[in-house]
């Protein structure tokens, strides 16, 4: 299984418009972060998790020509804002794009993209079509992939992480419940958010992410959803445990 980091940044991305900090003006490509998303590929299946405002460019940059499904962690704009750009894939594949999302996220998708759900005789010919499938906690089976959703708390919202065998992707959480932690036991490769060094009311910070990775005793951990407040990649990575590092856009992980 191949995992590509499509984006490793926060809702504003990095650099941030108008910001004059050293990170936003860094020349290091690893400090350029699109909105958080990953691509997962096997011999049979291609899926992505989240489709934010950078979705179009992320698909082009990763040369994606086939997409079996999109999994949505939650309904915030930086995670669903690019769903309209799935249109070329929908047209080429000749069927609606399958989207797995919670009921709450589905409501927001229907509101944001109401034109995609119009009656067939009223729908604009160039509009996207979506096949929404509810995430209810049970396993998701897509061809050769079995995906276990893991419910997370993201301040006042419900969000979902996803586990595939010994790999897990966890982002946008303010805390990790004991129930969620138990579902992650046995994971060896973990992508988890680490917003910044300071604590935050709706996201876990670097020390919290390290603690979770160490409690799980993972072989490798990569930190995503990284803010410009974290600091430069070249400065942060040497301070981390040997088996942990900041993820960066375009990174490819073989699992």
Q: Give the structural domain span for 170.
A: 2-254
The total domain count for the chain is 1
The CA distance from 255 to 252, in Å, is: 10
pLDDT at position 148 is: 98
Per-residue pLDDT of 91-119, as tens digits, reads 999 999 999 999 999 999 999 999 999 98
Residue 183, pLDDT score: 98
Identify the DSSP state of 96: P
Mean pLDDT of 121-135: 90
Tens digits of residue pLDDT in 207-220: 999 999 999 999 99
The reported pLDDT for the residue numbered 67 is: 98
What is the residue-averaged pLDDT of the chain? 97
pLDDT of residue 119: 86
Give the domain CATH number at 43: 3.60.15.10
């Amino acid at each position: 299984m191949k995992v590509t980091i499509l984006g490793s940044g926060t809702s504003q991305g990095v650099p941030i418009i108008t910001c004059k900090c050293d990170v936003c003006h860094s020349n290091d490509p690893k400090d350029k972060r699109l909105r958080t998303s990953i691509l997962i590929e096997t011999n049979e299946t291609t899926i992505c998790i989240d489709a934010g405002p950078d979705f179009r460019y992320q698909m082009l940059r990763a040369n994606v020509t086939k997409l079996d499904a999109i999994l949505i962690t939650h309904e915030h704009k930086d995670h669903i804002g690019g769903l309209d750009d799935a249109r070329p894939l929908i047209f080429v594949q000749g069927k609606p794009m399958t989207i797995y999302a919670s009921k709450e996220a589905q409501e927001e998708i229907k509101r944001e993209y109401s034109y995609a759900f119009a009656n067939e005789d009223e729908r604009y010919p160039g509009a996207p079509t979506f096949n929404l499938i509810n995430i209810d906690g049970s396993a998701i089976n897509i061809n050769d992939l079995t995906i276990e959703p893991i419910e997370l708390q993201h301040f006042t919202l419900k969000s979902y992480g996803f586990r595939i065998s010994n790999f897990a992707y966890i982002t946008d959480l303010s805390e990790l419940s004991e129930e969620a932690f138990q579902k992650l036991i046995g994971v060896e490769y973990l992508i988890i958010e680490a917003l910044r060094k300071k604590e935050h009311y709706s996201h876990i910070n670097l020390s919290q992410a390290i603690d979770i990775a160490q409690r799980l005793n993972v072989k490798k951990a990569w930190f995503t959803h990284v803010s410009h407040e974290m600091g430069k990649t070249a400065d942060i990575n040497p301070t981390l445990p040997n088996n942990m590092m900041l993820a960066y856009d375009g990174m490819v992980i073989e699992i």
